[in-house]
Structure formats: C-alpha cells, structure tokens
Amino acid sequence: MFSKVILTEDGSSSVFSSIFNASYHSMHGSIQETDHVFIDSGLKYFHNQDEISIFEMGFGTGLNMLRTYMYWETQKINVRYTGLEAYPLSTNQVNELNYLAVLEREDLKDMFSKSHSVGKYSDKNDHGYSFSFKLENTKIENYELPHREYDLIYHDGFGPSVQSFLWEEELLQRFYCSLKAQGILVSYCAKGSFKRALKNVGFMVESIPGPIGKREMTRAIKTIV
C-alpha cells in the first residue's frame, strides 16, 4: 500500500516508499550499489577472518543479505547475520523482486523467501562453514543492540534528509558500542555531518570511492578497544 517495486538502471529491482518519498537503492542500480558499498567495501574487508558477525539496519528488499550469502557460499567463513527492518515488504512485493533472475540464482528462491517470511535461516556451504540469519521487524529505537557483538554494520537506512536521527550521534554511539574492536560500519552516505558525527563518537572515518553515481561513500573503523 505504501511502497511499490521499481526497476533501476542495472536492471535490478528496488522499492519506492511513498511514506518517505524515497527509493531503497540508487537508481543507477541496486545490485551494483550493494556490491560496491556493502560487499566489496565492507564484507571483503574481513577476507582473512574465518568468522564474522554482521548487523544490517535497513534490511529492506534483502539484497544485502542475498549478496552476502552468495559471497559466503564460496568462502571458508562462518557468518552470523542479523537484519533489522521496521517496514517489512509483503509476500507479493518480495515475489516481484527480480534479483534471483538477474543473478541467475533461482535455486536460492527458498532461502530468499524464508529470509523475509520466516525471519530465520541457516545453512552450511561446501567447505563446511555455516551461515545463520535472523530478521527483526522493529524500529532501531526499540531494538537493544548487544555490546561488542558485531564485526560489521551495514548502515542502509533512508538518507539524512529523510530520517535524520539515523545519522546522528545518539544512534552512532550505540553502533560504536555494539562493534568489536577493529569492527567497521559502511554506508553509501558521505554527507559531512554524518562523517563528523562518526568521528565525534570515536570512529576513524575513511572517505572512499562510491558506487556509480556517487563520488564517495563512508567506511568507519572502531580503532579503540
């Protein structure tokens, strides 16, 4: 009722929210944005670890989780993944998403469906490593973030002009405390006020090249134990 599935320039789906008057992904391409920001600049940062704990704020269409799962399939790494989504998609909307067709992975239909409808999923890859996932349908304001739990945070909420509190010091301090030492937060956002807020709560902030259509993105590292 308040959102509709749309297509982006790389041929992959996104969703447009009429509540926030914003799309869930870059119109230059959902898959290319996810791969660049969250997989290449986030997940692969931990290529030398054999276990990683991930928190995603803004589960949305489930694309970040899907691409994380597809990367995990080929790796010798255990993944624990928690997604948070305040406005879950309907079953019909999930079925409209074309990621599995675009990526030629229709064999993942059951996994992708369960991640939205059941909220839990677990699997083992050919190397014997595990992937465990759970989805929480609640607002970040009502969610108790565990202390020093995560290696990696996918910060993928609507932008500062839409939901400013997601990018301010109060929440970023909670994220900082929930990360392990040397943990990182990655985001498509490169707004100056966001980067200053990250620095104010203790992160070392890197401005790195962004996906197509964006000059920069942000990677923030918790350098202090």
pLDDT in tens, 59-115: 999 999 999 999 999 999 999 999 999 999 999 999 999 999 999 999 999 999 999
User: What pLDDT score does 1 carry?
Assistant: 57
pLDDT band at 210 (very low <50, low <70, confident <90, very high): very high
Please name which of 20, 26, 3 lies closest in space to residue 190, comparing C-alpha atoms: 26
Cβ within 8 Å of residue 41, ≥6 positions away: 186, 208, 217, 219
Strand ranges (E), 46-119: 51-57, 78-84
Whole-number Å distance between alpha carbons of 24 and 124: 30
Indicate the pTM of the whole model.
0.97
Q: How far is CA 59 from CA 66, 115, 128, in A?
A: 10, 10, 26
CATH superfamily of 30-95+104-221: Vaccinia Virus protein VP39 (3.40.50.150)
Chain segment 127-186, per-residue pLDDT in tens: 999 999 999 999 999 999 999 999 999 999 999 999 999 999 999 999 999 999 999 999
Which stretches does DSSP call E strand in the chain? Answer: 3-7, 13-17, 22-23, 51-57, 78-84, 120-124, 130-136, 150-155, 179-187, 204-209, 216-221
Q: Among 18-22, 27-31, 59-63, whose mean pLDDT is lowest?
A: 18-22
- What pLDDT does 193 receive? 97
**What pLDDT does residue 160 have?**
95
All structural domains of the chain with their residue ranges: 30-95+104-221
What is the Cα gyration radius of the chain?
16
In Å, how far are 109, 137, 142, 177, 217 from 180, measured between CA atoms? 33, 24, 22, 8, 22
Residue 118 confidence (pLDDT): 81
